[in-house]
Structure 1
Amino acid sequence: MVFGDIGTSPLYALKETFTGHHKLAVDALHIYGIMSLVFWTMTLIVTVKYVLVILRADNRGEGGSLSLLAMISRLSPTSTRSRYLTLLGVLATALFFGDCIITPAISVLSAVEGLTVVRSGMQAYVLPIAIGILIGLFLIQSRGSAKVGALFAPIMLVYFVVISVMGINQIIANPAIFQAINPIWAWRFFADNPSLGFLALGSVVLSVTGAEALYADMGHFGRRPIKWSWLYFVMPALLLNYFGQSALLLSTPSAVANPFFLMAPDWARLPLVLLATMATIIASQAVISGAFSVTRQAVQLGFLPRIKIKHTSAAAAGQIYIPLVNWSLLGMVILLVVSFRSSSDLASAYGIAVTGTMFITTCMMAVLVLTVWKWNRWIAYGFVGVFLIIDTAYFASNLTKIPDGGWFPLAVGAIAFTFLTTWAKGRGLMQERLRESAMPMEVFIKSAATAATRVPGTAVFMTTTPTGVPHALLHNLKHNKVLHDRILILTVVIDEVPYVSEEDRIGVADLGSNFFRIIIRYGFMQEINIPAVLKTVENCGPKLKMMETSFFLSRQTLLASDRPGMALWREHLFSWMMRNAESAMDFFKLPTNRVVELGSQVEI
């Protein structure tokens, strides 16, 4: 699951470097130069940057851009820096969604294209087969990945062993290819034609697509297993295959049409196509699961509205299914495959999102090593400076792909960024407007507690702000003229940590006159279930009984205005997102027959 994306890059990376939109001559200088770049790119970016450094930045076990953002914000809370860091983290998340669309398309398509090597005349069947596989992959998401996951390890194990053996066979025939380890070959390649070398970087970086998954999946598997698996199994297997492909090109330049599959003997090519296809399905599954996970994090951290999230496993909390994300991804993936029609054309769209995310991770790493880990400044500047140069070079090279398809992930990223920032900004403005009109709780209790008629039972008023009187409480008193015997003012807080322990879950404050303020804390990776938590609440009278408890929710109708805050079109967008959000009743798992919604209008 972790190495599926980067593990399938040999299917297209080297081929695209030579036969892509900026073609290279298949001669010794270019073969050695490209292989040298692949070796050192994998060593520096994946091994040094991600495995040895970034994996140490675990937010209580979790990884990924949003998790890194939350950790830095918590441990180094500087207002100005936090604002820019938040924008970087959100931008990385937006680019990730672009990557989630392209990865399944290019991976599955490149594997199925192996059929054209097995038998000529199969080209017409590549597109329908690839689309069929992708549709099937997305259709089974609702069933959960637990059963499919049991097959992941054996298939990927076999896949990595097979591509290693394929590479070794070619290296034995031409061991001189190991000269490419010497970085002088990369220097000679650039010296021969600097502009062509710069353009080639856009394809070379395809060899490390999926590196970000090593960090994002750390919460599922832990740092040590990922680190040792990469260093002692996955990286050697990938390098052996890349060196094998390069050795084949030295002896047979015409194999550049599809060096991965042409390394295998004729009898083994069809089984290899099937194995590669299964590996790409696994790579796609990992990206889809990642999209679900990142979307849930974004919802919990307040960057997206409430979305229907289904749990596909009673035992594993991390196994979730989000219908909206699943079908949106499927539609965009099919559109990509039909529009670009080949993995080579898709490679033009691939890379920008990946290199953009890598660049942002380096920027966030700079803040991490300087303010949280407090490295020696000169060591930190030197380390970060090297990777900023590398990431900038790769990102700049990929920008040249914009006219040929690179615009697509940028467009997806721009749309996702707009949605993420609009919701976060609009939510902040709405809470600010509600606070402006809120009555102090002490004043309300003194004036209303004794004057209003008290009726039996418990009323839970949910509010996003832990101060002031909830609007639902004011409206209930205004229209129904009564108060329940026990009033609970409930606020759910999502902390900037993946998990909050049961000991720190609940905070209760007695406000007097049988009014209580309760704050329930969750981590951004945890499932919210309010009734289950309320049953354990103490220090606020008798134990709560659901059949004697009513939940009051406030549903705001937003009115766009010309007040300072957001552009009018963003106010309309935020209003539309709010109308289409999942109901708070479903999101918080509230009992359907115990909920009362009271509406109000808010100008932002």
Structure 2
Amino acid sequence: MSLEVEKPGGTESTNRLSLKRHDSLFGDAEKVSGAKHHGSEVSWSRTLHLAFQSVGIIYGDIGTSPLYVYSSTFPSGIKNNDDLLGVLSLIIYTLIIIPMLKYVFIVLYANDNGDGGTFALYSLISRYAKIRLIPNQQAEDAMVSNYSIEAPSSQLRRAQWVKQKIESSKAAKIALFTLTILGTAMVMGDGTLTPAISVLSAVSGIREKAPSLTQTQVVWISVAILFMLFSVQRFGTDKVGYTFAPVISVWFLLIAGIGLYNLVVHDIGVLRAFNPMYIVHYFKRNGKDGWVSLGGVILCVTGTEGMFADLGHFNVRAVQISFTGILFPSVALCYIGQAAYLRKFPENVGDTFYRSIPAPLFWPTFIVAICAAIIASQAMLSGAFAILSKALSLGCLPRVRVIHTSKKYEGQVYIPEVNFMMGLASIIVTIAFRTTTSIGNAYGICVVTTFSVTTHLMTLVMLLIWKKHIVFILLFYVVFGFTELIYLSSILSKFIEGGYLPFCFAVVLMTLMATWHYVHVKRYWYELDHVVPTNEMTTLLEKNDVRRIPGVGLLYTELIQGIPPVFPRLIKKIPSVHSIFVFMSIKHLPIPHVVPAERFLFRQVGPREQRMFRCVARYGYSDRLEESKEFAAFLADRLKMFIQEESAFAQNEAENDESSPSTEVPEAQTRPRRSTHSVVHSEEAIHPRVSSQSGRITFPANHSVEEEKQLIDREVERGVVYLMGEANVSAGPKSSILKKIVVNYIYTFLRKNLNEGHNALSIPKDQLLKVGITYEI
């Protein structure tokens, strides 16, 4: 049964009492703090510090693009020298339009309290509209710090209209989710291909000084470097960033200096390329070939999505400073210098970068190029880890261990299983494709598809959240959407020549994510339909002659309401329950962080003397889950606080009743009522602390609050046992063949091979008890 939401009404004292309530998982959520998180306003000194560190983390990819852009754009050589002016103009304005205008000065502001990437946009939207397929939203969630939603203004009814359309359409919800996991799959593909193309193109330069080396030998040298790159990821972005920032800064100084040298020595006239008319002339001369060449031009902005995905490591102002002050001038000068060199030596377009380096600077540049290529890989790997950690919180992938690698900066994570799979895939791609041209065809599709996904989600953010004028929204969508569509159409022409790789990769990853999420949602609904009513708790315990044993038991469940169906099975097989028993739910809110003071929501389940509680532990998608000892201690402290505050409330209520008997307000009226979207069952109506005769909360005189708190401490010392349901999910006998394949084979394979829920929740194996149960969906 669902209850209608309404702010507590009645007298002023009634309202005041209601806000202090801690039943129905309500009170703790109202303790809104003003905590600041990563991405909020910081001092200029820290901003400059982060700007410097960002150079080493998020710009390696876009900064090493000059290694292969011209060779990918002119795979068959330069037919007309003026084509260089057209391509250079395309490169300059692509850098200005996509990474600078779109990302640095628009998209970065759509961060979710400092976090970026496609899942951050999805989570941001989900706070303003109910687009999630699992009904675990609670009215209290909107009261958490940093949730920061506002109702659409009456002046802009369009936002309300969009919200209603999305919430009422299951197809729209599925489309948004599909778009989000598509963007995630492409970022993962980007993170796999970036190391392959960057390292291979950097190592290929050695053949300028050692022509006897074969391409096979170059490939195996690249593989060795890739192996080392993925091996150091476990040390974390923070340490890697400090190591790489000075190196990539030297790289930018080198490429800017070499570009300026080539511009002055060879042909300063290439500066005419700032005139966009050269783009028009280029397409008039080359027609379809000019359109196809856009697949090479777009590689100049590879890694742009990394700026947004890695924003959780830095902040908007730091990224803006480092991009406009360091990245753009250096890279633009490098491309301009290469064009000037090629105006004199067009035959060297296949290896423009290394051939344009002055002889004395070759070896220093080659060494720094290798390091920069490693950094390029780091940028997208950091972004991939950050995005996947958010995907895990939405139930899109099996629980795996996410390691937070920095105590100073939130959002810096490492996922061992993902690192291994991406490293293996990157090495296989390098060995199989062997040349940067083939890899580039696949690479471009990942890049542009991710851009397009971000554009669509950003448009929805502007409509629903920012509530911008429709002209601005249309301008954003048309300019950037049309630009990306042109580039995408060009890259798709190379589908057979390697472009198929990211699509295959995306299909596999999206299938896995969609399968896991589909069964995750079905399983939640199954449990919701089979919950045990709370008013049957006493009967259930007496029927099975349940003994109370020492210690604290935590039964993990996805449900935030009702008694999960695994509990009756547990007490039938093992008719004993710990002295203090908690139905524990780990819930991820669509915000990056939940401060510890607002983490736990408690209520009592069953009669008070049974000491059984429900607890919802709420985390943001970028929060670190505590270790088991830390979690148990924190839980015990908050439980004692809950008991003490409930006692104070009961005493306050009793005093008010005695002083004003004529204005007594029944318990049912003082309790905050729930919204229908909270999906809270009828537990509330039979709250154990309410006397059946008076409707008021009563505490036995022989059990003081201090005794209750001491009891909790004693039981925690005796040991905490974690119980988890080991659910086997199978498709029903009347299900379609497709559903049986998805549930019985793909999902089962993932659950058996990747699901490490106890590791992800930091539960020690010697304190874990799994309870088997089968669900037929």
TM-score range, shorter chain: over 0.9
Structure 2 partner of 1:430: 523
Question: Is 2:635 aligned against 1:534?
Answer: yes
1:132 aligns with 224
Structure-2 residue corresponding to 1:288: 381
Residue number among 6, 30, 51 corresponding to 2:104 in the alignment: 51
Is 1:594 matched up with 2:767?
yes
> In the alignment, is the contact (CA less than 8 A) between 1:553 and 1:595 conserved in 2?
yes
Structure-2 residue corresponding to 1:480: 574
Q: 1:458 to 1:119 in 2, by over 3 A?
A: closer
Which of 740, 752, 755 is residue 579 of structure 1 equivalent to? Answer: 752
Counterpart code for 1:533: F
Cα deviation code 1:86-140 (max 9, x no counterpart): 2111110011111111100000000011112233223443122111111111222
Q: Is the 8 A contact 1:472 1:552 kept in 2?
A: no
Q: Give the Å deviation of 1:248.
A: 0.8
Pairing of 1:509-520 with structure 2 (within 5 A): 509-513=603-607, 514-520=611-617
SS of the residue 2:624 aligns to: coil
Comparing 462-471 with 44-53, greater Cα deviation is found at 462-471
Q: CA deviation at 1:562?
A: 4.2
Say if 1:456 and 1:485, in contact at 8 Å, map to a contact too. yes
Give the deviation of 1:314 after TM superposition: 5.5
2:655 counterpart of 1:554: no
TM-score (norm 2): 0.74
- Hey, what's the Cα distance between the residues in 1 that align with 2:290 and 2:637? 64
Q: What does 1:315-330 correspond to in 2, within 5 Å?
A: 318-330=411-423
Residue pairs, 1:98-113, within 5 angstroms? 98-113=189-204
Distance 1:444 1:344 in 2: 66
Aligned residues: 601
The structure, 1 or 2, with the larger RCO (C-alpha pairs under 8 Å, 6+ apart) is 2
What is the TM-score when the length of structure 1 is the normalising length?
Answer: 0.95
Worse-superposed segment, 44-53 or 188-197: 188-197
Query: Which moved further from structure 2: 104-113 or 292-301?
Result: 292-301
SS across alignment from 2:577: strand
AA partner of residue 91 (structure 1): L
- Distance, in Å, in 1 between the alignment partners of 2:404 and 2:769 is 26
Aligned partner of 1:508 in structure 2 is: 602
Residue type of the alignment partner of 2:480: F
- Larger mean CA deviation between 343-352 and 452-461 belongs to 452-461
Match of 1:248 among 334, 341, 347: 341
Tell whether the 8 Å contact from 1:118 to 1:270 is kept in structure 2 after alignment.
Answer: no
Q: Is the 8 A contact 2:309 2:386 kept in 1?
A: no
Amino acid at match of 1:18: F
Q: Is the 8 A contact 1:199 1:400 kept in 2?
A: yes
Q: Which residue of 1 aligns with 2:511?
A: 418
Flag the 1:567–1:150 CA change in 2: closer, same or farther, 3 A: same
1:568 maps onto 2:669 in alignment: no
Cα drift, residue 481 of structure 1: 2.6
1:149 corresponds, among 241, 265, 269, to 241
Residue 399 (structure 2) aligns with:
306
| Residue 535 to residue 448, structure 1, CA distance change in 2 (3 Å) | closer
Taking structure 1 as reference, are residues 318 and 381 closer, same or farther at Cα in structure 2, changes over 3 Å only?
A: closer
Secondary structure of the equivalent of 1:303? coil
- The Cα shift of 1:431 comes to 1.4
Mapped to 2, the partners of 1:39 and 1:536 lie a distance apart of: 58
Deviation, 1:59, is 0.2
What are the Cα deviations for residues 63-90 of structure 1, in whole angstroms up to 9, with x where unaligned? 0111111101212443234432221111
| Cα distance in structure 2, aligned partners of 1:331 and 1:51 | 32
Are 1:525 and 2:622 counterparts? yes
| Structure 2 partner of 1:87 | 178
Contact residue 78 and residue 349 of structure 2 kept, 8 A: no
- Matched residue SS, 2:459: helix
Query: How far, CA to CA, are the matches of 2:771 and 2:85 in structure 1?
Result: 70
**Are 1:70 and 2:156 counterparts?**
no
In structure 2, give the amino acid aligned to 1:573: I
C-alpha deviation, 1:255, in angstroms:
2.4
CA displacement at 1:330 relative to structure 2:
1.9
- CA separation in 1, counterparts of 2:459 and 2:490? 23
Tell me the CA shift for residue 322 of structure 1.
2.4
Structure 2: how far apart are the matches of 1:397 and 1:532? 58
Does the aligned pair in 2 maintain the 1:308–1:582 contact within 8 Å?
Answer: no
Alpha-carbon distance between aligned partners in 1 of 2:473 and 2:77, rounded to the nearest angstrom? 37
Percent of aligned positions with the same letter in both sequences? 30
Q: Aligned AA for 1:427?
A: H
The structural deviation recorded for 1:409 is 1.0
SS in structure 2 at match of 1:486: strand
Give the C-alpha shift of residue 279 in structure 1.
Answer: 0.3
> Which amino acid is 2:85 matched to?
Y
Compared CA separation, residues 444 and 564, structure 1 to 2 (3 A): farther
Question: Within 1, Cα distance between the matches of 2:270 and 2:436?
Answer: 27
Q: Counterpart of 1:567 in 2: which secondary structure?
A: helix
CA–CA separation in structure 2 for the residues paired with 1:577 and 1:183: 51
2:288 is the alignment partner of 1:195: yes
1:266-285 maps to which residues of 2 (within 5 A)? 266-285=359-378
Give the unaligned 5+ runs of structure 2: 1-56, 131-165, 644-707
Alignment CA distance shift 1:146-1:375 (3 Å): closer
- Secondary structure of the residue that 1:464 maps to in structure 2? coil
Q: CA RMSD in A?
A: 2.0
